[in-house]
């Protein structure tokens, strides 16, 4: 039986329960996401962190139903909640919608939007920035091209692109990395989505631009009252932007809770290792930043028990390498998946 996601309530916007995503290949089946459960509330920012290959981006692609082939949702539920004018809440089961169905297309146009990892590869090099924003705005079919162009200029101005009346006719290669990222954000917020999924939005920019992007997302969230799902490997980004953190390892959420609680008192050995590996201002040139031993197992490798046990400093022989840990509720809004806390369930 699927386990309900943590504290779904009347303010829940989207609820993911026991999500499994797999990629059948000639060499075998890659289980990219294994039993992931979480909820995002209205106006909340949830940060998903973890090393490359942990299933962060695949989880968001499943929510949008844009999994690359041959990826498929093999099990689980993704429920989208929409508040009606009379106050009632209507839930749509996204896993039951076709990838290209009119209902799923409508959700992607009006309710959910995505900022992709790398603007240089996500944006077309042969179309102007304005042309791409205009086409995104016109997907709903209610705007003329002239109206969409005026709105595109306003959007570019709202995300801090200087002289948008001129920049709207620029090509991707004519903009800096920071301007390309801002153009991507302008395109994503054009239809005022209720949920903005930001997949590594600060990876391709320098530290100064990174801070600007974070402030921009915070400002847009306040003005548009939207929820944000931010996917990153940078704990500093989620510490600044997120309300809650989900820590993923090899397709599973191993720890979930409020950002302050997890950063102050991480419970899972993997979360503790991630935090130890972050350099601070107190770290001198002679100090070596701690690292997590080992590497993430190959996708085809079968790891019995807890998937993190080959790298875990708290490894318990005969337990961690044999039995997969269950989720343990530590507080009303906090959970961890580790044998250390199993007896407290």
The answer to whether residue 247 sits within a structural domain is yes
Q: What is the mean pLDDT of residues 240-263?
A: 95
Q: Are 259 and 238 in contact (CB under 8 A)?
A: yes
The predicted-structure confidence for 116-133, as pLDDT tens digits, reads as follows: 877 777 889 999 999 999
Question: Do residues 245 and 6 make contact, with C-beta atoms less than 8 angstroms apart?
Answer: no
- CB neighbour list of residue 86: distance below 8 Å, 6 or more residues apart: none
Looking at the 3D structure of the chain, how many domains does it have?
1
Distance CA 25, CA 258 (A): 37
Question: Does residue 321 fall inside a structural domain?
Answer: yes
Question: Is position 80 within any domain?
Answer: yes
Q: Please report the pLDDT score of residue 2 as a whole number.
A: 39
Phi, psi of 7 (to 5 degrees): 50, 55
Which pair of structure tokens corresponds to residue 26? Answer: 């000639």
pLDDT digits (tens, 9 = 90+) for 261-270: 999 999 999 9
293-330: per-residue pLDDT in tens? 888 888 888 899 999 999 998 999 999 999 999 999 99
User: 108: Cβ–Cβ under 8 A, 6 or more apart, which residues?
Assistant: 64, 65
pLDDT band at 7 (very low <50, low <70, confident <90, very high): very low
Inside any domain, residue 151: no
155 part of a folded domain = no
pLDDT of residue 345 exceeding 60: no
Neighbours of 323 (CB within 10 A): 14
**Is residue 124 domain-resident?**
no
In this predicted structure, what is the pLDDT of residue 5? 42
The predicted pLDDT at position 35 comes to 95
Q: What does R_g of the chain's alpha carbons equal in angstroms?
A: 21
When mean pLDDT is compared across 4-18, 207-221, 260-274, the lowest value belongs to 4-18
The pLDDT of residue 216 is: 85
Asked if residue 22 belongs to a domain, the reply is yes
- What tens digit of pLDDT does each residue of 71-128 get? 999 999 999 998 777 777 889 999 999 999 999 999 998 899 998 877 777 889 999 9
CATH code for the domain of 245: 3.40.50.300
Does 87 or 159 have the greater pLDDT score? 159
User: What tokens appear for 168 in the block?
Assistant: 């709207």
Backbone phi and psi for residue 31, each to the nearest 5 degrees, phi listed first: -90, 90
pLDDT at 210 over 80: no
Measure the CA–CA gap between 284 and 207, rounded to whole angstroms: 20
Decide if 144 is inside a domain. Answer: no
Q: What is the DSSP letter of 344?
A: G
Domain enclosing residue 61, as ranges: 12-111+193-279+289-344
pLDDT of residue 70: 93
**pLDDT band for position 140 (50/70/90)?**
low
> What's phi and psi for 248, nearest 5 deg?
-110, 145
């Amino acid at each position: 039986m699927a386990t309900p996601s943590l504290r779904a309530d009347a303010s829940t916007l989207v609820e993911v329960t026991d999500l499994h995503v797999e990629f059948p290949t000639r060499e075998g089946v890659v289980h990219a996401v294994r039993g992931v459960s979480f909820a995002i509330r209205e106006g909340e920012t949830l940060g998903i962190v973890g090393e490359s290959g942990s299933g962060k981006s695949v989880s968001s692609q499943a929510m949008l139903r844009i999994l690359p082939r041959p990826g498929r949702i093999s099990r689980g539920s993704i429920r989208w909640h929409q508040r009606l004018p009379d106050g009632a809440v209507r839930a749509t089961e996204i896993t039951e919608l076709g990838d290209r169905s009119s209902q799923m297309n409508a959700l992607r146009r009006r309710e959910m939007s995505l900022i992709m990892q790398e603007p240089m590869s996500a944006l077309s090099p042969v179309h102007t920035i304005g042309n791409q924003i205009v086409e995104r705005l016109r997907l709903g079919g209610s705007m003329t091209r002239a109206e969409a162009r005026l709105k595109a200029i306003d959007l570019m101005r709202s995300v801090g692109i200087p002289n948008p009346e001129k920049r709207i006719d620029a090509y991707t290669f004519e903009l800096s990395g920071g301007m390309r990222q801002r153009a991507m954000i302008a395109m994503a917020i054009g239809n005022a989505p209720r949920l903005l999924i930001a997949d590594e939005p600060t990876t391709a920019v320098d530290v100064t631009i990174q801070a600007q992007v974070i402030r921009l997302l915070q400002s847009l969230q306040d003005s548009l009252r939207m929820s944000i799902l931010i996917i990153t490997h940078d704990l500093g980004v989620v510490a600044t932007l997120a309300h809650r953190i989900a820590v993923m390892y090899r397709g599973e959420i191993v720890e979930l809770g409020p950002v302050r609680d997890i950063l102050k008192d991480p419970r899972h050995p993997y979360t503790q290792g991630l935090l130890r590996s972050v350099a601070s201002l107190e770290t001198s040139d002679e100090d070596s930043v701690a690292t997590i031993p080992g590497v993430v197992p190959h996708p085809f490798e079968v790891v019995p028990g807890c998937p993190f046990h080959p790298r875990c400093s708290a490894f318990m022989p005969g337990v961690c390498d044999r039995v997969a840990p269950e989720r343990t509720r530590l507080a009303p809004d906090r959970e961890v998946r580790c044998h250390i806390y199993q007896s407290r369930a």
